[in-house]
Amino acid sequence: MTVSRWQTLGTLALASSLLTATAFAANPKSASKVKTSSTKSMNSNVPADPYLWLEDVEGERQLAWVRERNKSVESLTSTAEFKKLEADILAQLDSKAKIPGVGKIGEFYYNLWKDETNPRGLWRRTTLEEFRKSEPKWETVLDLDALGKAENVNWVYKGADCPPPYNRCLVELSRGGADAVEIREFDLNTRTFIKDGFRLPEAKGSMTYMDADTVFVSTDFGPGSMSPSGYPRIVKIWKRGTPLNAAKTVYEAGAKDMTAGATHDFTPGYERNFVYRVPDFYSIELFELTKAGKLVKVEAPDSAEKSVVRDWLLIKPREDYKVGTTVYPAGSLIAANYDQFKAGKREFKVLFTPDAQTALQSFTATRNYLVLGTLQDVKSRLTVLKIPPAGQSDWQQVDQPGIPAIGDVSVSAVDALESDALWMTSTDFLSPTTLSWLDVGSLPIALKSNPMFWDGSNYQVKQEFATSNDGTKIPYFIVMHKDTKLDSKNPTLLYGYGGFEVPMLPAYSGTRGMAWLDKGGVFVLANIRGGGEYGPNWHQSVIKQNRHKVYEDFSSVAKHLVLTGVTSSEHLGAMGGSNGGLLTGNMLTQYPELFGAIVIQVPLLDMYRYSQLLAGNSWMAEYGDPQTKDWEFIRTFSPYHLFDAKRQYPPTLFTTSTRDDRVHPAHARKMMAKMLEAGKTAYYYENIEGGHGGAANNAQAAHMWALSYTFLWNELSK
């Protein structure tokens, strides 16, 4: 059982899909109800907003504006070259040869599969014996396209909670890819939804099993039950066969807290219930709910990530944690006997200590082992530790052969309750992802590899370091052809994120290779501060009033690329999404002279209004509260307010989604309106579906990526 900070903002992936990480959803039904009646600002230092009306997500006037703005990309999308690129990208996404990623539920291995025939997806299953074959036989469990057709709803599968005895699941369905989900109970034996089973209407929140006939539920229970961030703040226990309004409240978070929830640990012999309160994005208060119904707080720092693995409490501090005379540094991992810790004893085993080059990225428990994933100058490493049996306390490191020395390597437990097997995925910029079966202590066995949609054998990868304004060394990766000349003429795409302690790691992308590198472009991935490449301090050093350092880091990489002859400003483009959209928005408004074109995807841009729009309130621990004196520093990185109609700006493409109920589409809408009013060169595309990922199916994703690469190539290859 792990309770860690909630990455509700999410990130844009570098390949052909968008990576998001969120445990809770924002309600699309409330998205169009943002207060827009006044153009007056609550702060005298903020000018009136003439485009406030665009915050009404689904208003007829607003959608008419969107449809008109979407015409701006017709010159890009109407060419034969674009249509071929879009078709080629879609062929990759729909390829039947790609790895069918699976998760074990009982004796079966489940996969969600999308292709040309099944654009919404098939939730299907197979056996391990079949999965090891080159062409496994699959059994369809749920056909999302058929369900959507039958119910006249464009359902998108968002996941399922399927605990022991693995005969029932709580399936999450989203309209159009939004975060908000409808949750229905599903019978895995009959492969049908259970009539009169547990069911929640479309809303924010979650539902998870306590046992076969009981669930924890956190949702919109009516007025006052939701936090300012738009997430549920009340946890209830709901018994089968009773109405939801009869569910018993077990916890209620404060009115200003971000959210609250609960989970059950199904580990045999260690069954426990946990309730958690999330005051803000980087704090979690954890309680054990005893059999007597009492909440007992786990007295570890609220800022720390906390996991209970059988007999052990694992703590990963985000700040230095002092116990007696001992200080456990931020980013370390320490372990204590859980029962002894609850009794007041504070004896810890140190499992990992960070240094200037190495950070703990993740840890995964199997039945008998704990596997640490670390980054050393943004290169993956694995360490395996034997979990001490009950009554013992020595953690022994286990030799694990066969781990790739380069690229990104990650592991996850196949079945943490029953085995020590791991799924291992490995990739790098030039090599397609490989999925391997790894029994701890044995050599990994490669099971599947993605097709080589793009041949990287004639390309090279280099890691370089730029120096930011305050002297900090900022690593970045360059991917380019071996024959590339450093003549300052190479069309170059610089990608970054820089927030929420999310690291940007090497990854293969056939789309990027085909659409950019094979044309003669150079790709650069910047590992700027704000991410998790070097642990919590790499992130915390640039939150709130120090946010400007993120943009100084990214601009320093841009300048270094010019200084070293990789490219020049007229041939250099920037791309980023979500928090990365805020990054590229600041490149547009603060460093326009450094770039020849900029792509801004599902962005935050209006940093005065962000905390009042959808899930924005939950990110104030990252950016600050604009309704307080924090505005004095927030205004320095609010692109919407930094925009100056008198300045020259590079051509810009904005992309967003009407169904994005996490980052409000008005950020992109309003910035586009300002660009147009000032007569700047700007393109706009708002997908009606897609949620925060920007696309709800492969065809939409192919269109979005073809659009971005076509725009950049047209502008940067001149």
Tokens of 489: 């003429």
211-to-165, 168, 240 alpha-carbon distances in Å: 10, 11, 10
CA dihedral 568, 575, 706, 63 (to 10 degrees): -130
Q: Report how far residue 528's alpha carbon sits from residue 442's, in angstroms, rounded to the nearest whole number.
A: 36
Q: Is the dihedral of CA 348, 350, 356, 360 positive or negative?
A: negative
Q: Report how far residue 646's alpha carbon sits from residue 545's, in angstroms, rounded to the nearest whole number.
A: 27
Catalytic residue selected from 410, 692, 703, 708:
692
Instruction: Give SS3 for 370.
Output: strand
Q: Report how far residue 407's alpha carbon sits from residue 55's, in angstroms, rounded to the nearest whole number.
A: 42
Instruction: Give SS3 for 139.
Output: strand
Q: Report how far residue 527's alpha carbon sits from residue 496's, in angstroms, rounded to the nearest whole number.
A: 7
Instruction: Give SS3 for 718.
Output: coil
Active site residue 44: no
Please name the residue that has the structure tokens 């009042």. Answer: 612
Count Cβ atoms below 10 Å from residue 139 Cβ, excluding itself.
13
Q: Report how far residue 258's alpha carbon sits from residue 253's, in angstroms, rounded to the nearest whole number.
A: 8
Q: Report how far residue 18's alpha carbon sits from residue 596's, in angstroms, rounded to the nearest whole number.
A: 25
Q: Report how far residue 68's alpha carbon sits from residue 107's, in angstroms, rounded to the nearest whole number.
A: 52
- The distance from CA 160 to its chain's CA centroid, rounded to whole angstroms, is 18
Tokens of 203: 């809303």
- Burial track 675-690 (b if 16+ CB lie within 10 A, e otherwise): beeeebebbbbbbbbb
Give the DSSP letter of residue 226.
Answer: B
Active site residue 578: yes
What pairing do the DSSP bridges indicate for beta strands 369-376 and 380-386? Answer: antiparallel
Count Cβ atoms below 10 Å from residue 197 Cβ, excluding itself.
14
Give the DSSP letter of residue 345.
Answer: -
Strand ranges for 266-316 from DSSP E: 272-280, 283-289, 295-297, 305-309, 312-316
Q: Report how far residue 111's alpha carbon sits from residue 333's, in angstroms, rounded to the nearest whole number.
A: 32
Q: Report how far residue 121's alpha carbon sits from residue 550's, in angstroms, rounded to the nearest whole number.
A: 38
Q: Report how far residue 704's alpha carbon sits from residue 601's, in angstroms, rounded to the nearest whole number.
A: 10
Q: Phi, psi (5° rounding) for residue 185?
A: -85, 135
Q: How far apart are the first and last CA of the chain?
A: 54
Q: Is the dihedral of CA 158, 161, 167, 173 positive or negative?
A: negative
Catalytic residue selected from 578, 611, 618, 708:
578
Q: Report how far residue 581's alpha carbon sits from residue 554's, in angstroms, rounded to the nearest whole number.
A: 13
Give the DSSP letter of residue 372.
Answer: E
Q: Phi, psi (5° rounding) for residue 73?
A: -95, 0
692-to-9, 85, 564, 581, 640 alpha-carbon distances in Å: 9, 24, 36, 12, 20
Contact present, 571 and 597 (Cβ < 8 Å): no
DSSP string, 459-480: EEEEEEEEE-TTS-EEEEEEEE
Query: Which of 436, 433, 427 shows the shortest CA–CA distance to 506?
Result: 427
Q: Supply the residues annotated as catalytic.
A: 578, 692
